[in-house]
Amino acid sequence: MKINCIGTGTMGSITRGSQSILLDNILIDVGSGVVKKMESMKLYTKNVKYLLLTHVHSDHFVDLPNFLIGRNIRNENNEKLTIICGKGIRKKSIELFELCFGDGTNTRYKNFEEGFNVEFVELSDNESFEEKELKITAYELEHGDCKPILGFTIEKEGKTIGYATDTTICDGVKRICTNSDIAFIDATNIIPTRSHMGLNETVCLKTEFPNCKIYAIHRSDYVHNNINEIEFPEDGDIIEI
């Protein structure tokens, strides 16, 4: 499996793009600038079969119209795209399109799913989506007042990859680390805030879950990267697992 780090930054970062990774044909989060960043990295939307959305904050969600409309314009939509997200995100996705394009995009089709050849799979905590050898499980996280906010584990080819961006330290993060071989974990700040983990907590997870290799993501520019216990991926890095 190949993991492309498309963006590793938080909002306000000058040096890093919006947090997003591509695991083979699975894209996790499609926030501001992600689609153009992918194209500049020669990673194209036509290769994405599953899109996982953690929550609707703009640095994780607002490139969804660019992703889906670009896919339609380039006739890359022959194969269905499965969008895996929290409860209510289908409705939020349609509202985002209505905000950007009025109702012009949707009225040509019976519904949003037909127009963009997508299906939504809305998951709650501990629910899974399974298809062939792939299993994706949702974990409820805690992110200030934002709900729903999900993390995921992706089981594929005998390995489990965890993803918990935009969260405080909580039961969901710990369950992801328990179940994962490698995990991408929020390290937005040096010390925690009411919405995000601090780097000190991210490092502590490595001590608590020594079998899980931890990658610090969604980082601010001032978060230092001189800690040996965990990994600090940068935009454009490729991780082979």
State yes or no: residue 122 binds Zn ion (CB under 5 A). Answer: no
> Which residue, 59 or 155, is less far from Zn ion as judged by CB?
59
For the chain, the straight-line distance linking the first and the last C-alpha, in angstroms and rounded, comes to 5
Interface with Zn ion (CB under 5 A), residue from 16, 37, 57, 219: 57
Between 45 and 165, CB nearer to Zn ion: 165
59 binds Zn ion per the rule CB under 5 A: yes
Q: Residue 6 and residue 20: Cα distance in Å, rounded?
A: 5
Choose between 71 and 196: whose C-beta lies nearer to Zn ion: 196
Cα 46 to Cα 27: distance, rounded to the nearest angstrom? 11
How far is CA 151 from each of CA 51, 77, 238, rounded to the nearest angstrom? Answer: 13, 27, 21
* Residue 159, both tokens: 């390995």
* Under rule CB under 5 A, residue 29 binds Zn ion: no
b/e sequence 13-29, b meaning 16+ C-beta within 10 Å:
beebbbbbbbbbebbbb
Stretch that binds Zn ion, among 44-52, 55-63, 84-92, 105-113 (CB under 5 A): 55-63
| Three-state secondary structure call for residue 22 | strand
* Residue 186 is a binding residue for Zn ion (CB under 5 A): no
Q: Is 235 in the site for Zn ion (CB under 5 A)?
A: no
What does the per-residue mask of binding to Zn ion show for 144-173, with x meaning CB under 5 A?
----------------------x-------
Q: Please report, as ranges, the residues that interact with Zn ion according to CB under 5 A.
A: 57, 59, 166
